[in-house]
Chain A
Amino acid sequence: MFADGLFIGFAVLAVLGAVGLVLFRHPMNGAMSFVVTLISLAGLYALLSAKLIFALQLIVYAGAIMSLIVFIIMFLNIQPGDLPQEETKLFYVLGGGIVVLPIGLFLAKIVKSLPEHSTEILGNNFGGVKEVGLLLFRDWLIPFEIVSILLLVSLVGAVILAGKRGTTK
């Protein structure tokens, strides 16, 4: 029962954080609101007894990545005057909501059709570092390895799109 309450709490917070991210005018408020989402997601992972993912979510996402984002926003030093006038924002948000609504209803219908199960925590150290590691290197070797190519591509891309480019040789 307590876990149910926690789940609802985290889920509502996660959604509210995401809504705030979209609706806040200043990027810094948006970033702070995004932190709420990331931390509540970590809570949800903890409820699933995924210990390693819980820790990673807090350290990597809510910690490292968010501080990077906040750092960049502060670096840009955005004043309220720099922000564009968005008089039609409400209109766009409403329109977007109407477009997304069918998908939301569709998802709600899917979730409703799920059979009710009472679940228990698996035990045997499920979600621990060792177990996740074994799974990652035994069953999921290919996705694990090709992610490294993905990261390499995005690294090269960031350098090319943002970095100083030498004169054509």
Chain B
Amino acid sequence: MTNDLMLLMPLIIVGAGAILLMIASTYDKFTHELAAYGSAGVFAVAFLVQLSSCIAGNVAPFSEVFNGILVVSNFSKAAGLIILACGCFTALSSQTYFRRNNFCSPEYYSLTAFAAAGMLLLTMAQELISVFIALEIMSLAIYILVGYDRKNVISTEAVLKYLMLGAFAGAFFVMGSALVYGAAGSTKFVKIGQYLAANGMLHSPVMIGGAFFIMVAFLFKAAAFPFHAWVVDVYDGASVPVTGYMATALKTAIFAVFANFLVIDGALQHKWITFLFYISVLTMFVGNLIAIGQQSLKRMLAASGIVHSGYLLIALVAVGTKDFTGSVIAFYLAAYAASTLGIFTALSYLGGTGEARKTFDDFKGLAKARPYSAAAISIFLLSMAGIPPTAGFMGKFYIITSAIDAGQITLAVLGIVSSIISMWYYLRLIIAMYFHEASEQFDEPAPSSLAPVCTFILVLCVFAISLYPIAV
């Protein structure tokens, strides 16, 4: 009983923290800087509690009362850790960002915490209706964060686009859930698995259709190939800390629930392997093509996020449904989150007022003016490109070996090819920073020391994560 409570504690802390921040933000004395420290504290405490929980196998906390809807496993624990860490770093880098950009109010931090609560629910939910509600909690909070700067036209366009397309994806998800319920007679993952084990996948067109619609919704949220068009504009329109939060925590939550859904039953995953194979290949290469053409740094990072979704889809294709641990996926997500969040944290204090520095050219000669920041950014870029000894290399290594183990040699080779192509746009920024003369001075001091400190902690994380051993 106590243990059950402890397993849910991170979720309770983040949820209660979000509500407290919301109430506190009505007071005039509660400034947005205080809210930043408060929310960072909430995330840090939740992170430590999550870290301390011991889980053996799949545990359903309060299974009598909650009817087994929430299931905690080591995979959900790892995903939760990534989400909470992302939340903490986002809160701290936002503090620095909003010293220079004047559109913050304390509710911003309350919404980050609400989004994190939705994401944690998403990693644990093992039932379609709860998944849908958790998905909407997360998405609604993120929509608002994207459109937080109401005076900025680009950000308003981004939120409208994201809201419309996101609602469409949500509708697909509900349609799919209804069809799956029609076939299996239940929306719980366990019951669906039992139905599939008894009847097989192909006997029921309703089941195939339902699973297809649900997968469309997940692919949309994960920014996979046919549904990737929104990503670049939305990431570009959001403010830098929010973009970092979306690119890391949101992706972690989506891939956690996607993996949980796919491993319901071997038949379900097996049926979609060919489909996911093409999706992941197209996602990688289309993402690369988009990223190569970008001049703006944020847009390039958005497109590279599409490519990383492609790698994660490789991991999903290769995932084994028996004794699913999800360690490869969790490891890659952690590695990707550390380096992506690092870049966005660095941008939140280097970007200047109103995010004036946007393009590759604006960062020319950064290494001369700010050698440490430039070195940190280079490490993050190299990690995203997959150069040893960074975490990104180990993540890709695990994904590709797991693909080879699963017999997906073609996919593994294409993954490596795509990773080589991606060097093009990652190295471009490094070249701009190191081998060009500075056109401007970068002499304004960082508005506060929090974001620079976070950046260097994340540099350490990039190396530390690569040393963390996992069983493939």
Contact = CB atoms under 8 A, between A and B. Distances in A.
A160 B106 CA distance: 10
Contact of B205 (A110, A147, A153, A166): A110
Given A107-B209, A140-B67, A147 B133 contact: yes
B22 A141 contact: no
A150 B98 CA distance: 27
B209 A139 contact: no
B67 A109 contact: no
A76 interface: no
A109 to B, nearest CB: 7
A75 B70 CA distance: 44
A40 B148 CA distance: 38
Interface in A146-166: 146-147, 149-150, 152-154, 156-157, 159-161, 165-166
A142 B66 contact: yes
A165 B105 contact: yes
Contacts of B277: none
Interface in B1-45: 15, 19, 22, 28, 30-32
A24 B70 CA distance: 44
A161 B108 CA distance: 11
B67 A160 contact: no
How many chain B residues sit at the interface, stated as a range, is 35 or more
A166 B29 CA distance: 12
A109 B205 contact: yes
A142 B130 contact: yes
B28 A160 contact: no
A154 B32 CA distance: 20
Interface in B102-122: 102-107, 110-111, 114, 117-118, 121
Contacts of B205: 109-110, 113
A169 interface: yes
B241 to A, nearest CB: 16
B111 A153 contact: yes
B143 interface: yes
Contact of B209 (A106, A149, A165): A106
A150 B140 contact: yes
Contact of B129 (A113, A140, A156): A140
Interface of B: 15, 19, 22, 28, 30-32, 65-67, 69-70, 98, 102-107, 110-111, 114, 117-118, 121, 125, 127, 129-130, 133-134, 136-137, 140-141, 143-144, 147-148, 150, 179, 182, 204-206, 208-209
Interface of A: 106-107, 109-110, 113-114, 138-143, 146-147, 149-150, 152-154, 156-157, 159-161, 165-166, 168-169
Given A110-B208, A166-B105, 18 more contacts: A107-B209, A110-B179, A110-B209, A113-B204, A140-B67, A140-B129, A141-B66, A142-B127, A143-B69, A143-B129, A146-B130, A149-B118, A153-B137, A156-B110, A160-B144, A168-B32, A168-B98, A168-B103
